[in-house]
């Protein structure tokens, strides 16, 4: 296949410009967030002065500012690494290096995917360690020991390899064996895999990392069960997860698919909230179920992935796609052995798509915030709205979430509405002035 040099150059320029624009936009948004939070650090917003102390407000501001500084390092490192993998030839070098001692074929293709994953993880490792053992430790959230962290890393690597390598092998085989419509078969496999993962995750994967105990509080169990019956939600069980082993952050969530659905409470959540507040938080989560937000997102995800696989199916046949992103096409015969470029196509697509899809982030965030408002409204119909407001205030305080985010930053990134917007739609919490 001969590459069109004009198309290759155009793709290289467009990609480089998109990477630069993304970096500039993300840096600008973080800078706005830093300035806005710092300017409002000195005083608690009037809407929260009756419930949030100045010390808690300033802790949230300092936590937000510290995370922002790490984010600036992260986005700069990510942009540099991305350019190294693509336009500067890192992926091309790795591919040819592996071909130097592994014969072309499925084994070499899998080796390329695995090597890329390992190298990427090693690059991200120092910043991950810093975030866990410095930043989170500094603000009192980290509960992990180094041995637990290493154990999680080992288990997640093994699980990723056991699940990911066979899936990658199947997709690579489909790319080479099923003709021009391979992408449709690959999409079907990907969709089936995600549905299967939703079913097996609660019962087989999550317990590898956390302990799940049945909810022992009979009073709370009765309230939660009655709430779910009113909402028409059936779950396999109510469980408490030992989230405090790793973090002081609190949460609750639904997990599973079909008859494997279960409700999971972090132990930290149950310690921080009263039974009335727990019921209100769960009613919010049930609001997502009632409005079919999760189902709609799944359908949208599968639809977008279908378009993505179709685009990949076309791009993988265009020589300029490879050369424009810094990869030399391996001819059909390499050292006398049949070769292909399928793994390189997958990796280039995975690297390039987030650069362009980043610019639709505000739309996705706005849709998510709309869903959160709908879930809040449903929760106030099924439980005490004042208790929901009280629970949210406690969670904002305990998780050190800033009450004064920058509006532009919110519009771009926030999947949940800011506290002031959510609470403005709720009854005042008990004890408010």
Q: Tell me the C-alpha distance between 394 and 421, whole Å.
A: 16
Instruction: State yes or no: 279 annotated in a binding site.
Output: no
Q: Angle at the Cα of 409 (from 408 to 414), degrees rounded to 5? A: 120
Kind and range of the H or E element at 333? strand 333-334
Question: Rg (Cα) of the chain, in Å, rounded?
Answer: 24
Tokens coding 69: 């500084």
- Please give the full DSSP string across 236-249, using - where no structure is assigned: S-EEEE-GGGTBS-
- Positions annotated as catalytic residues are 285, 376
Q: Tell me the C-alpha distance between 219 and 82, whole Å.
A: 52
Q: Tell me the C-alpha distance between 228 and 225, whole Å.
A: 5
Instruction: State yes or no: 284 annotated in a binding site.
Output: yes
Helix ranges (DSSP H) in 141-217: 146-177, 182-200
**Are 149 and 246 in contact, with CB atoms under 8 Å apart?**
no
Q: Tell me the C-alpha distance between 249 and 116, whole Å.
A: 32
388 burial type by CB count under 10 A (0-12 exposed, 13-18 middle, 19+ buried): buried
Kind and range of the H or E element at 338? strand 337-338
Q: Angle at the Cα of 84 (from 79 to 90), degrees rounded to 5? A: 150
Q: Where are the beta strands (DSSP E) in 227-325?
A: 238-241, 252-255, 262-266
Q: Tell me the C-alpha distance between 189 and 183, whole Å.
A: 10
Instruction: State yes or no: 331 annotated in a binding site.
Output: no
Instruction: Detail the residues annotated as belonging to a binding site for Zn(2+).
Output: 284, 288, 372
């Amino acid at each position: 296949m001969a590459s069109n040099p004009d198309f290759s150059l155009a793709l290289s320029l467009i990609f480089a410009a998109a990477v630069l624009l993304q970096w500039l936009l993300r840096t600008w948004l973080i800078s706005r967030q830093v300035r806005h939070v710092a300017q409002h650090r000195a005083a608690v917003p009037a809407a929260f002065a009756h419930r949030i102390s100045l010390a808690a407000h300033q802790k949230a501001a300092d936590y937000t500012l510290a995370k922002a500084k790490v984010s600036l390092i992260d986005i700069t490192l990510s942009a540099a690494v991305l350019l190294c993998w693509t336009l500067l030839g890192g992926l091309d070098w790795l591919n040819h290096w592996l071909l130097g001692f592994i014969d072309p074929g499925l084994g070499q293709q899998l080796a390329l995917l695995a090597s890329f994953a390992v190298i990427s993880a090693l690059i991200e490792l120092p910043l991950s360690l810093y975030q866990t053992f410095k930043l989170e430790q500094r603000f009192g959230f980290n509960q992990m020991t180094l041995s637990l962290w290493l154990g999680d890393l080992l288990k997640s690597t093994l699980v990723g390899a056991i699940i990911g390598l066979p899936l990658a092998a199947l997709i690579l085989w489909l790319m080479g064996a099923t003709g021009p419509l391979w992408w449709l078969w690959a999409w079907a496999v990907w969709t089936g895999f995600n549905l299967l993962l939703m079913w097996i995750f609660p019962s087989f994967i999550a317990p590898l990392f956390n302990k799940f105990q049945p909810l022992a509080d009979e009073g709370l169990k009765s309230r939660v069960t009655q709430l779910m019956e009113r909402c028409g939600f059936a779950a396999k069980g109510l469980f408490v997860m030992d989230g405090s082993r790793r973090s002081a952050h609190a949460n609750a969530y639904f997990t599973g698919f079909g008859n494997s659905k279960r409700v999971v409470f972090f132990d930290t959540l149950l310690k921080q909230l009263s039974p009335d507040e727990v019921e209100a938080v769960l009613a919010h989560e049930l609001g997502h179920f009632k409005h079919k937000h999760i189902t709609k997102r799944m359908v949208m995800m599968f639809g977008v992935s279908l378009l993505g696989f179709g685009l990949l199916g076309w791009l993988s046949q265009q020589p300029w796609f490879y050369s424009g992103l810094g990869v030399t096409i391996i001819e059909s015969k390499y050292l006398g052995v049949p070769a292909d470029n399928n793994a390189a196509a997958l990796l280039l697509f995975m690297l390039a798509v987030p650069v362009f899809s980043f610019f639709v982030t505000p739309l996705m965030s706005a849709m998510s915030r709309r869903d959160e408002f709908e879930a809040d409204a449903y929760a106030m119909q099924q439980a005490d709205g004042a208790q929901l407001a009280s629970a949210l205030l406690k969670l904002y305080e305990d998780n050190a979430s800033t009450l004064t985010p920058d509006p532009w930053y919110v519009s771009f990134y926030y999947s949940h509405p800011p506290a002031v917007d959510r609470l403005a739609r709720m009854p005042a919490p008990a004890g408010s002035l």
